[in-house]
Amino acid sequence: MNTFSPLFPRRSLLWGAVAATALALAGCATQAPSLAEAPPIVFVHGNGDTAALWQTTVWRFESNGWPRERLYAIDVPYPLARDEDAKPQPGRTSAAEHMAYLKAEVDKVLRATGARQVVLVGNSRGGNAIRNYVYNGGGDQTVSHAILGGTPNHGVWAIPGFREGNEFSGTGPFLRGLNAPKNAAGDEVSGPVRWMTIRSDHNDKFAQPDGVWIGAKGTATHVSAAGPELKGATNVVIPRIDHRETAYSAAAFEATYRFLTGKPPARTDIAPEKTVVLNGKITGLGVDPADPRSGNFSNNLPLPGAQLEVYATDAATGARVGGALLRKTVGAEGLWGPLATQAGVPLEFVLSAPGYATTHIYRSGFPRSSDLIHLRPERIAEADKDASSLVTLVRPRGYLDPARDKMLLDGAPPPGVPAGAGVASAKVKPSGGQRPIAAEFNGERVVGQTWPAAQGRVVVLEITQ
């Protein structure tokens, strides 16, 4: 879990001004359930991501009275799509495998809750699995509402003859099948499931007319900012949000809550708890067979034998306050907790495992309990092995946009961050020995300590919002 820092109000004002009409329509389309009988919600992350990205969304639902035991964020073991969907590829899943995993998880939730139906909320590729499940896996009977944030429903590209075997090709068989008209009006969705899409007005890197983000700058993708919309669905547009913020932002939560209940949430900030209990999973990095030197092939498999220490830190300096709050070697399931701690106290997580750098992850204080604090040790790239220290700012739930966001890393604008909300991290190589180092992002401040890279150590400053 991460810390909560209030989102700056400018975005909420824009959201209210532009999307009020769409939300009013969404409110008319549904009836507010009693939260005592709130439907279970299953959250489905995107390509290469983890369940941990839903942490703040889960907190917002809890802060509005949604029962914690009816909120499920799933981890796809191999979250990356294949380069060509029909060809097996180690460490990656086909669209059919992705859908089968979602179906199995929904069945588990239905059995655990006794509910007849679930709500599915997906980001990016997660929306592909949701649509596939509803139309080809029996989900039309088990899903009441489907909310798709930033899903490339008409492709990341739609170029005839270009990588059409890929799941994200708008002209390929997978998306053409899902987008086939469902009625005489040509709608791309059908009942009884109620559908909503959430997209950016222009700032989603995977809904761009130019192929810059797919390595084809100057090539027309034949996809516009409206690519995530579906004919026949409630389609919500939120200004300036990026690809991940279509699902994980406060504005996306507000749209989702309204669609499900027919009314606005009581709050979009996160209600703090007096004490928190933290838990999660430690996962590793696979090696891409096509590029064994990469060392960063995403998966969500446990990393048995990994060791973790957790320390409280000083918010101003990042220095440890007292001894370790927890020391543990994780078992086969990779679970590192539980850890009961004081709400709002910043923490340092120190991960070590054979084949990895000792990774110091600094997080702001946690306002609420969560079992979605997934941790992953890093590896030091060959190009960085001569650095004095390695420090990375990461923002898992959104991207970094110099034109939109106020951010600093070690007192300066983060290096190597292009315009257009296209990257979610920035790295510096500070010198000068061990010292405090801070990352700031739109009002949230995370402070850690530098550690010597020569000792095989790296530092991660993780933003929550």
Buried-state track 117-153, b at ≥16 Cβ within 10 A, e below 16: bbbbbbbbbbbbbbbbbbbebebeebbbbbbbbbbbb
What confidence score (pLDDT) does residue 88 get? 96
Rounded to two decimals, what is the model's pTM? Answer: 0.91
Low-confidence ranges of the chain (pLDDT < 70): 1-34, 36, 287-296
Domains of the chain, CATH where assigned: 9-261 (3.40.50.1820), 275-462 (2.60.40.2190)
In angstroms, the CA 285 to CA 307 distance is 15
- The mean pLDDT of the chain is 91
Q: Output the pLDDT for position 34.
A: 61
Alpha-helical runs (H) found in 327-383: none
Helix residue ranges per DSSP H, 55-167 = 55-63, 95-113, 125-136, 139-142
C-alpha count within 13 angstroms, C-beta hemisphere, residue 350: 19
| Closest listed residue to residue 104, CA positions, set 83, 124, 77 | 77
pLDDT tens for 200-259 read: 999 999 999 999 999 999 999 999 999 999 999 999 999 999 999 999 999 999 999 999
Strands 358-363 and 457-462: parallel
Q: In the chain, helix, strand, coil percent, each to 5? A: 25, 25, 50
To 5 degrees, how large is the angle CA 312–CA 316–CA 320?
30
Q: CA torsion sign, 283 to 284 to 288 to 289?
A: negative
**Hey, is 439 helix, strand or coil?**
strand
